[in-house]
Structure 1
């Protein structure tokens, strides 16, 4: 990665150098903690280009008031020719205005870094495990999985751009009763493939036609060997074959969205390896699991309630409202017990964990966070663990609920969506709202060619830039940074918008919020479209200006770098930057 500093990083270093000088002068105590000093755009652009809170956060250390310290800092900043003004605002904020050359240098930095512009070393190689999708292997991917899949994948990419080492993980829930039901459903299709009239699929079984090919494959391989056999003879075999086929289908469906995982962790293998037992033993050793009676459900009258002694995890110690069982009365693991062991396994290979869950799992967050906190206890620093909840998406067609999929029988599949509107539309749209907010996905609106459609608006900006560059090539005009000094205030405004990208990447990564990149790209696209539209009223403000090859070359260079930033941002989101629409 190119090490050329971006503008905000460079000016943060300038502020830091001033603070070091003040330490040498005795205006600040030696080794003053500067962790909370920030350099960022002011909330109101009319106040300047950059603002720093240095005087506000360090005045107490300097045994003075913020405004007095700000005056001392400003004295130093006034000596820097790249800063045209440094003004004190309010109780001690410092607003800076930069010389145009500073922004032109940033434009050159975009060109120098290219695809690496916006990448950061902020993550310092910290290993982050991002687990997402993790749907039961009982059918094709549907809209209930789509949003979490896109959010998780974009978050993983964002964290990589911010310097983290990321593992993308899928937890295969292949040890519960639902996979036995899947195996029985496949057995029905197996008998059907042998010519038997199985009638209507019984309630509780999986009715989707996606199981028909599995039944046919088993019939071709085994004939009628298991048609009338006792379930004990075929259940394990059919379960293994069905899960394997479902996972192939799931991988294929996710690939249509441009999603792949590094690790597929099997719950069945986890249990076969004795991981839950090991987790329980460790927790008992640390007095975090004990045998006790589960509380009677509150607010309910249950006539046949009988207290049962179960192994309980002390989740109340970590903020939960009651201790939770890790085994059922029959000795089998609860979902929580298995999940606890699974997170213990993940924590062995990562410095931080992130889970992407559907909003219907909100009630589980507190207890699993408690479990991870417990498993971190006694092992140094607790491992950071974050759960991102993703709301469901309502599918519409011209404002009306969308029809279900013929393939599945009762839901719309990801494959259906991608086939109709394309991968890029699906991915970008899923990131146009915060994941915890409800979302409508209207098949008609997401393909509209309008400003109100963020997918189109951003891709159109890139396509428009590509079109301009093709036209320039036809006219034998190439982008050039030889005369960037010809660029004026309108161009500098656009450069300032592009220069926000590295900051946005780091801020989005810290907050674990990839949708911020989609929001930023929409704003950058709007800034470019506004700049382009200036030429509608004034031919001298067009990007390609008649009889002004040097100005045209400089503006083309600017446009090409805006295109570069849009490409880089779309790359994080897993969306193609199209060259024509």
Structure 2
């Protein structure tokens, strides 16, 4: 990025760094001192200034000096910077900076120069991050139980890319378990039905949903009557593969409605066929991380109703788990943990970091999988950080009343139905208006309400207002211009200061793996814009379009256009479109 388009927070961080360099050159600071904890952030109270740095506080101890004295030396260097109007030392050594008005006007020019790339960062340094999300069993269409994790995962992937990471979006297909056999039997039943046979009531334990009727029809077209009279051992493996294939097509179509497309669909069946679990077990045994032993009896069980069995156990307790975990069952087949362990080992081969998005009901398995990944990656000479983000379920409401669903009858609210009713953007933004691990309600009436209490509407309305204003200006023959930016005063620059936080919000959200921070920020930016807009209701001279003052009108249009750009950039990270009309 050129000097002319360096964002203001990056520029001030660079000035602080240069000032510290000067102190090192003067001998005030020792050479080679670690600066990783030095921050330059907005002040909590605007009355104290625009930005604050903790540099003197965190460097004083390793420099073996007094933080207040170091702050005085650092403040002296920072006062030499043209863009800084004042430098004040607070408390034991915090430094508050008040920037010049022209510095904020320059930030507007930077937003204009950078456009769609404003806020983009290279902090990720090309780190390869595998984000696995959704990964619902391939036994039916996406329902709203899958929606929140899907949106959080996809938004996180978008955020990490925006912050300079190399992201792989992955879906793990659990196609090796007993539920896939049940799916195959259910699909074969519908295949018989498609041939005109009376199948009667759907047997207990089968998947009863109507969504399998098209699968039965497709199977009739593909196989004819070949498997009508065949034995189960003949048709089961065929229908297992066929049904999973159709379910993945259905899942992809559902996710596409949300604007979600994965880079990779990894198959558990293929993983096992390739011998990956055996390879992982062999490696773990070689490094004394798997041994043959007996599990302790579950709490409440006695020797009369518990028969100890020798199983291969992973030494999970070495990595912080509360007990060692079996990787195989007594019949020799893989436990879910054993297969999952091998799957994560496979992912780690092509990634520098792993992130899984799981439902909160899987919280009990987090510790053991983290232990397994730590063992397999650190032990093989590669430290691959692994993070699990837990997502709470969403309660569906209509006008405040819970939406009734029944898994037994196969009646549930599909993701496709919800997207078609309220729209992709409403669903995506709403899912990010609370932290993922917090409970959430999704009321069909409220999420489409045209009210400032509806964050989706409030943010999109800000962009639509800006677009409408620009259209009116064009019709009146007035264009945005930076020529009169010196006319922008305190009220306008307060709005610029909110917009200018976007680049650092991107970096902090990416570091924390929390895309909802972008949604929260956009709500703050929209609120700031609406507040500025409302000034004109009581003070006509503060309107964006001032009839008898073309210069201030052009400058405020330039400001509004830049705010709209930041809104678009933020919404793009979240996979939400910025509308021009509501």
TM exceeds 0.5? yes
In the alignment, the residues of structure 1 paired with residue 229 and residue 513 of structure 2 have an alpha-carbon distance, to the nearest angstrom, of 53
In the alignment, the residues of structure 2 paired with residue 208 and residue 243 of structure 1 have an alpha-carbon distance, to the nearest angstrom, of 15
In the alignment, the residues of structure 2 paired with residue 412 and residue 540 of structure 1 have an alpha-carbon distance, to the nearest angstrom, of 51
- Secondary structure at the counterpart of residue 265 of structure 1: strand
In the alignment, the residues of structure 1 paired with residue 41 and residue 354 of structure 2 have an alpha-carbon distance, to the nearest angstrom, of 29
Q: Is contact 2:207-2:410 (8 Å) kept?
A: no
> After the TM superposition, which of the residue ranges 27-36 and 175-184 deviates more from structure 2?
27-36
In the alignment, the residues of structure 1 paired with residue 361 and residue 61 of structure 2 have an alpha-carbon distance, to the nearest angstrom, of 47
Deviation at 1:214, TM superposition (A): 1.2
- CA distances 1:401-444 after superposition (whole Å, capped 9, x unpaired): 124499x8321110010010000000000000000000000000
In the alignment, the residues of structure 1 paired with residue 62 and residue 313 of structure 2 have an alpha-carbon distance, to the nearest angstrom, of 49
Matched, 1:427 2:431: no
Matched, 1:358 2:359: yes
- CA distances 1:117-169 after superposition (whole Å, capped 9, x unpaired): 01000000000000000000000000111000000000000000110000000
Aligned residue for 1:310? 311
Over 3 Å counting, the alpha-carbon distance change for 1:145 and 1:556 in structure 2 is same
> After the TM superposition, which of the residue ranges 160-169 and 208-217 deviates more from structure 2?
208-217
Aligned residue for 1:557? 558
Aligned residue for 1:92? 93
Aligned residue for 2:368? 367
Q: Structure 1: 5+ residue runs without aligned partners?
A: none
Q: Is contact 2:172-2:265 (8 Å) kept?
A: yes
1:38-57 matches, within 5 Å, as: 38-57=39-58
Q: Is contact 2:482-2:554 (8 Å) kept?
A: yes
In the alignment, the residues of structure 2 paired with residue 223 and residue 480 of structure 1 have an alpha-carbon distance, to the nearest angstrom, of 69
Aligned residue for 1:441? 442
TM-score by length of 2: 0.98
Aligned residue for 1:390? 391
Aligned residue for 1:498? 499
- Secondary structure at the counterpart of residue 62 of structure 2: coil
In the alignment, the residues of structure 2 paired with residue 381 and residue 70 of structure 1 have an alpha-carbon distance, to the nearest angstrom, of 40
> After the TM superposition, which of the residue ranges 30-39 and 178-187 deviates more from structure 2?
30-39
Over 3 Å counting, the alpha-carbon distance change for 1:359 and 1:302 in structure 2 is farther
- CA distances 1:531-570 after superposition (whole Å, capped 9, x unpaired): 0000001110000111110110000000000000000000
Aligned residue for 1:126? 127
Q: Is contact 2:15-2:81 (8 Å) kept?
A: no
Q: Is contact 1:169-1:263 (8 Å) kept?
A: yes
TM-score by length of 1: 0.98
1:339-358 matches, within 5 Å, as: 339-358=340-359
Over 3 Å counting, the alpha-carbon distance change for 1:327 and 1:2 in structure 2 is farther
Aligned residue for 2:259? 258
Matched, 1:267 2:268: yes
Q: CA RMSD in A?
A: 1.4
Aligned residue for 1:181? 182
Aligned residue for 2:293? 292
Deviation at 1:203, TM superposition (A): 1.2
Aligned residue for 1:523? 524
- CA distances 1:47-77 after superposition (whole Å, capped 9, x unpaired): 0001011111111233321111111111122
- CA distances 1:466-513 after superposition (whole Å, capped 9, x unpaired): 000000000000001111000000000000000000010000000000
1:5-24 matches, within 5 Å, as: 5-24=6-25
- Secondary structure at the counterpart of residue 379 of structure 2: coil
Query: What is the count of residue pairs matched by the alignment?
Result: 581
In the alignment, the residues of structure 1 paired with residue 254 and residue 230 of structure 2 have an alpha-carbon distance, to the nearest angstrom, of 34
In the alignment, the residues of structure 2 paired with residue 161 and residue 475 of structure 1 have an alpha-carbon distance, to the nearest angstrom, of 37
Q: Is contact 2:378-2:384 (8 Å) kept?
A: no
Matched, 1:234 2:231: no
In the alignment, the residues of structure 2 paired with residue 125 and residue 196 of structure 1 have an alpha-carbon distance, to the nearest angstrom, of 57
